[in-house]
A and B are shown apart, each in its own frame.
Chain A
């Protein structure tokens, strides 16, 4: 895109800045729309599983429910507790929201359709997702209230624990793909299974890794069954308890943007990203972005499905799963996969 602005007679540096701003808007605005719609989908899926109707009043089939909620939230008064630490109280939702958007910079939607095609893309995502804990911790502390504080404690412990296993899981994928660049990882999955199936899921060593990644992603985004930070029976609404109006909405949007990010990572790392599921020429007539969105949507459906059917974990069970099950298992798979690759691909050095 930079080239277009250079042709229009712009300085190279300015052209880069302008194209970066336009590119960011092109990602952020559709993303916000997608988040609004995905919240509607989420509520509809839970409703269907619970044999309810879900939102069906605002607009046809209730499609405009999220926008009505957004408008309502914007018109509400922002209440800041008098005992709160004002600056941090207000910065916390901004941090959550910004961090949730920033990670999308390296997500490739189609071949070459990516804002920043950097060669440390996956590390960037790890770094950004490790930042997202700060929004929760800051809001919990700044609220100066017990429930948010407990929630912040739980969140920081939980996210640190699961980041460790997510790190090892990503190492396995990187070992197979031979690159940290997300586009290169997707390209490496072309025809991975018998030369016809696109995606790393079709691999006896990587399928268990995918299952672990899916569960860790649930824990990392604090979705059910790992939503101990906002367990309503224990902590009212967790770290969001003291928030109102737009500051609450920013948490809400950031949370769903993070969930969508994890779904798209699932797609990119294990299910072939923008590539069609099978490596057949006919399927390539469908644009890559359609495949990408379809797969991401399917994983989002799985997230909602889990939310509607699985009961919440106890806190000690959560920690046990992270440290005593996932960590040793993912370490084992790092060793097994690197051993297998040395044996088959690179050859053992004499």
Chain B
């Protein structure tokens, strides 16, 4: 009973906030709706017993990716009138995409009527009684070690690529800070204490 209420609550919120993401006029509101959608999707994950994935979803998407989205969108000064002006120009493209989606829907319905596809049966043994994290760890570092590591390498390459693309040689005359030099500086080198007599002033 409780599960069903929770499921429909989360599912309805995911769909509603997803719809609001594309419908709201203000891009910052869109990002905030998107975050709500992520959050409720994490709730759905908890319901099916995948609490590790749920937590990762919140940490990675809500905690890091969406913050960066928000960061960028907040700083852009978006002119809404200008955005809407491009509507007629892009309308034919939109119609084409809508047509493709309709075709897919019709095809999908036809395929559904034609009967189900024969799927292979899962052969792996189910690790009952172990926690989510232990099970995923067992798979990622055991059976799928090679795939996992190569995914890591691909991400590393992508990261280096992004850094190389945005890296520029510093040509400005402004020198870099030498932190060790700054820390090594003592008050005696930088300041001089003087006790001028009355009416004499300081000689520089």
Interface residues of A (CB under 8 A from B): 13, 16-17, 85, 88, 118-120, 123-124, 126-127, 130-131, 133-134, 137-138, 141, 149, 152-153, 156-157, 159-160, 163, 180, 316, 320
> Given A88-B32, A137-B70, do A120 and B1 touch, yes or no (CB 8 Å)?
no
Which partner residue on chain A sits nearest B1 by CB separation? A13
Give every chain A residue within 8 A of B26 (Cβ-Cβ): 85
> Given A123-B52, A123-B59, A320-B179, do A138 and B2 touch, yes or no (CB 8 Å)?
no
Beyond the given A130-B64, A137-B74, A316-B177, could you list 19 further A-B residue pairs with CB under 8 A, ordered by the A residue number?
A13-B1, A88-B29, A118-B51, A119-B51, A119-B131, A119-B133, A123-B55, A126-B59, A126-B63, A130-B58, A131-B58, A134-B35, A134-B67, A141-B74, A149-B74, A152-B74, A156-B71, A159-B67, A160-B68
Which partner residue on chain B sits nearest A127 by CB separation? B58
CB distance from A321 to the nearest CB of B (A): 10
Interface residues of B (CB under 8 A from A): 1-2, 26, 28-29, 32, 35, 51-52, 55-56, 58-59, 62-64, 67-68, 70-71, 74-75, 131-133, 177, 179
Tell me whether chain A's interface is mostly helix, strand or loop, or mixed: helix
**Residues B58 and A180 in contact, CB atoms below 8 Å apart:** no
Which partner residue on chain B sits nearest A180 by CB separation? B133
Q: Which of B1, B51, B55 has the most CB of A within 10 A?
A: B55
**Residues A130 and B63 in contact, CB atoms below 8 Å apart:** yes
CB distance from A164 to the nearest CB of B (A): 9
Which partner residue on chain B sits nearest A118 by CB separation? B51
**Residues B132 and A138 in contact, CB atoms below 8 Å apart:** no
Give every chain A residue within 8 A of B35 (Cβ-Cβ): 134
With beta carbons under 8 angstroms apart, the residue of B2, B67, B177 that contacts A133 is: B67
Give every chain A residue within 8 A of B2 (Cβ-Cβ): 13, 16-17
Cα(A138)–Cα(B63), bound, Å = 14
Which partner residue on chain B sits nearest A17 by CB separation? B2
Cα(A156)–Cα(B58), bound, Å = 16
Give every chain B residue within 8 A of A126 (Cβ-Cβ): 55, 59, 63
**Residues B62 and A127 in contact, CB atoms below 8 Å apart:** yes
Which partner residue on chain B sits nearest A140 by CB separation? B74
Cα(A31)–Cα(B109), bound, Å = 55
